[in-house]
């Protein structure tokens, strides 16, 4: 691809998980007009927790890519601010979802037992560990269980007896969230998590599912727009989960439908299509 010297090139996140920067440099330098797009705080991802990831950490190649690209698309205001320190042409476009691809929640009666839910990669399941005391307390009071759309491999120790695992696939990603009574998105407060793009929240909202999240980074803004509650420490998580699952079906339906409408208006691919086309140079001359 680099030897063909493309007229326009878009690089999302990294050229390869095994690259240490040489591939990114070659690709971005070869194109007449290059765009680098990232939606996580890759500049602060040094491969912690994984020997394999430390062999080719994302941080140095993300910094290199931001500097080399003709234009950068950042997935949150925090990422855009950082990228602007290294590149003079930065566009902020939030992470987006396709609401029409998700099965819509239609039944807002809480299941017996209540069904909490989380979706994500196996690497991010660790974010659920600090929430374990709160989840166990909610389970003790209500019998609630936690559905994980993720890996089928147990990773969460003594939380596993409360968990029902659904292997992630393109289909389960789009159909499983509507079965949650409450979606959850806990995050620790670190430089890396402050740069995350709130994608889980948008997925829950695309299905019309009430959700709770840690107010970290862009999550705070998304929660306010969606009208969804935030939770900080374990005690707050217990209180907010219990509040959501004891609300009337009508109140929960109102919350879910409002969140879906906001997502369609502010966080859908359709809403950002024109800005995206402009950002990647469609219609611009780069001769």
User: For 25-47, what is each residue's pLDDT tens digit?
Assistant: 999 999 999 999 999 999 998 88
| Helix spans in 143-218 (H) | 170-175, 191-194, 199-206
- Of the listed ranges 49-63, 71-85, 145-159, 238-252, the least confidently predicted one is 49-63
What is the rounded average pLDDT of the residues 220-232? 96
DSSP state of 104: P
Share of the chain above pLDDT 90, in %: 89
The answer to whether the beta carbons of residues 160 and 136 sit under 8 Å apart is no
| Helix spans in 156-233 (H) | 170-175, 191-194, 199-206, 219-226
What is the rounded average pLDDT of the residues 219-242? 96
**How sure is the predictor about 287, in pLDDT bands with cuts at 50, 70 and 90?**
low
Exposed/middle/buried for 274, CB within 10 Å: 0-12, 13-18, 19+? exposed
Query: Residue 220: its pLDDT value, please?
Result: 95
Domains of the chain and any CATH numbers = 8-95+269-279 (no CATH), 99-266 (3.40.50.2000)
Q: Which residue has better confidence, 284 or 41?
A: 41
The answer to whether the beta carbons of residues 245 and 144 sit under 8 Å apart is yes
pTM of the model: 0.91
pLDDT at residue 286 greater than cutoff 70: no
Rounded alpha-carbon distances, angstroms, from residue 29 to 15, 66, 82, 109, 279: 13, 12, 21, 55, 18
């Amino acid at each position: 691809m680099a030897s063909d010297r493309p007229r326009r090139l878009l690089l999302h996140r990294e050229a390869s998980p095994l690259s240490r920067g040489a591939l990114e440099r070659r690709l971005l330098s070869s194109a007449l007009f290059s765009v680098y797009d990232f939606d996580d705080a890759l500049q602060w991802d040094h491969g912690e927790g994984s020997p394999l990831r430390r062999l080719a950490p994302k941080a140095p190649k993300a910094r290199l890519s931001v500097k080399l690209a003709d234009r950068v698309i950042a997935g949150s205001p925090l990422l855009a601010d950082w990228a602007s320190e290294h590149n003079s042409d930065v566009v902020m476009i939030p992470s987006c979802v396709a609401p029409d691809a998700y099965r819509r929640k239609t039944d807002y009666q809480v299941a017996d037992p209540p069904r909490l839910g989380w979706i994500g990669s196996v690497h991010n399941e660790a974010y659920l560990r600090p929430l374990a005391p709160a989840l166990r307390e909610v389970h003790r009071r209500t019998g609630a269980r936690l559905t994980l759309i993720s890996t089928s491999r147990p990773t969460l120790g003594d939380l596993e007896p409360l968990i029902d695992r659904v292997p992630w696939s393109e289909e389960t990603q789009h159909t499983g969230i509507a079965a949650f009574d409450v979606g959850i998105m806990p995050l620790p407060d670190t430089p890396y998590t402050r740069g995350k793009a709130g994608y889980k929240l948008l997925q829950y909202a695309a299905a019309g599912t009430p959700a709770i999240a840690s107010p970290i980074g862009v999550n705070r803004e998304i929660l306010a727009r969606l009208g969804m509650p935030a939770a900080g420490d374990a005690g707050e998580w217990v209180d907010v989960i219990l509040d959501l699952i004891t609300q009337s079906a009508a109140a929960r339906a109102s919350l879910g439908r409002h969140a879906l409408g906001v997502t369609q208006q502010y966080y859908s691919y359709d809403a950002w299509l024109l800005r995206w086309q402009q950002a990647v140079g469609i219609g611009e001359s780069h001769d």
